[in-house]
Amino acid sequence: MALQKRLREKTMQIHCAPLQGYTDHAYRRILHQLAGGVDVFYTPFIRWEKGEVRSKDEVDILPKNNEGVHLIPQIICSTPDEMKRLSDMVESHGYSEIDINMGCPAPMQTKLQRGSGILPHPDRIQALCREIEQRPELRCSVKMRLGLDRNDEWQQVLPILNQTPLQHITLHPRIGKQMYKGEVDMQQFSLFCDQCRHPLVFNGDLRTLADINRLTHSFPHLQGIMLGRGLLARPTLAREFADGEEWNDAKRMQVLCAMHQEMLQFVTTKYKVESQILLHIHAFWEFQEEMLGRKIWKKIMKAGNLKNYLDAVRQLLHSFEN
């Protein structure tokens, strides 16, 4: 009953994590329309590369591509100059919110002291925070990990963030070197929670309604939860949490198939080369092995041409209808 009361009062927000190659504007819009339950979406991080913003990153945040969703563009940077250039671009499209990525574990970013690679360098974080303070018109948040190499690196970062005007902090309680392996460190998360002066959002390994309920029972004062791979594997998870009850497999599959139909229409309209269509539509199913069963999932993922792919999907739909 406490959970349902919290939901009715809308004090526990559901955030959709940004995942490169998966949660682009098409996926966000389709998930919002057909599954629902997500309060806030984030773009995969926008980067400064070869002296400019990547064009596909800018296309992804265009308001016309994100109608109806509460979208916060996320940037990744290591210097105030990078932050300023990226923030200027975001603001030019009418956004007044931005999320700063201090959690990405990808070596291509961490070696540039971006993402979780910035966490061992509090001087760089302090410089970014000064840039935040100079832009009071821009509401900023931070997504971070416990550290890059050690799970206590946050202790030299959080005091800086506590003194910075932030909307919230999202914490994924792993270190960057773990990537997505091993267990989340709930002991360190609890310590972080006790010392954090900003509203806090939890991210990491929330895959079922039971996982979410355990977390929110243990940390009832969280501002929100962020769902990533768990939401990709079960696109109805946010809606199930909002409804306060689990859906059965048939109801989940009905939404999944409807989302696939919309995604297939999008990729076949956008891309004309068969290999590109398959690359993008396979991403939709990548986390669905448990839902579909290994045999049909493998058949879909291994399809080397569009005909075989559509045959595999028809087999799935036939098994679902029966």
Q: Where residue 18 falls among pLDDT bands split at 50, 70, 90?
A: very high
pLDDT of residue 318: 77
Indicate the burial class of 318 (C-beta count within 10 angstroms; 0-12, 13-18, 19 or more). exposed
Tell me the whole-structure pTM to 2 decimals.
0.93
Q: What pLDDT does 317 receive? A: 81
Alpha-carbon gap, residue 196 to 146, rounded angstroms: 13
What per-residue confidence (pLDDT) applies to 50? 84
For residue 322, what pLDDT is reported? 59
Task: Read off the pLDDT of each residue in 272-282 and give the average, rounded to a whole number.
Answer: 95
78-92 pLDDT per residue, tens: 999 999 999 999 999
Query: Cβ neighbours of residue 116 under 8 Å, at least 6 residues apart?
Result: 102, 103, 104, 105, 110, 144, 145, 147, 148, 175, 176
Given this model, what pLDDT does residue 259 score? 97
- For the cut 50, the answer to whether the pLDDT of residue 7 exceeds it is no
Residue 321's pLDDT band (cuts 50, 70, 90): low
Residue 55 has pLDDT above 50, yes or no: yes
Per-residue pLDDT tens digits for 141-155: 999 999 999 999 999
Q: 14 to each of 7, 25, 37, 315, how far by Cα in Å? A: 10, 18, 7, 34
In terms of Cα–Cα distance, which of 4, 129, 133 is closest to 79?
129
Per-residue CA distances from 48 to 11, 62, 87 (Å): 35, 17, 11
What are the tokens at 239? Answer: 């809606």
**Residue 3 above 80 pLDDT?**
no
208-255 pLDDT, tens digit per residue, is: 999 999 999 999 999 999 999 999 999 999 999 999 899 999 999 999
- Name the average pLDDT for the chain: 93
Read off the pLDDT band of 49 (50, 70, 90).
confident
**Structure token digits, residue 113:** 């002291």
Distance CA 67, CA 24 (A): 13
Measured CA distances, 45 to 23, 57, 109 (Å)? 11, 8, 11
> Above 80 in pLDDT, residue 9?
no
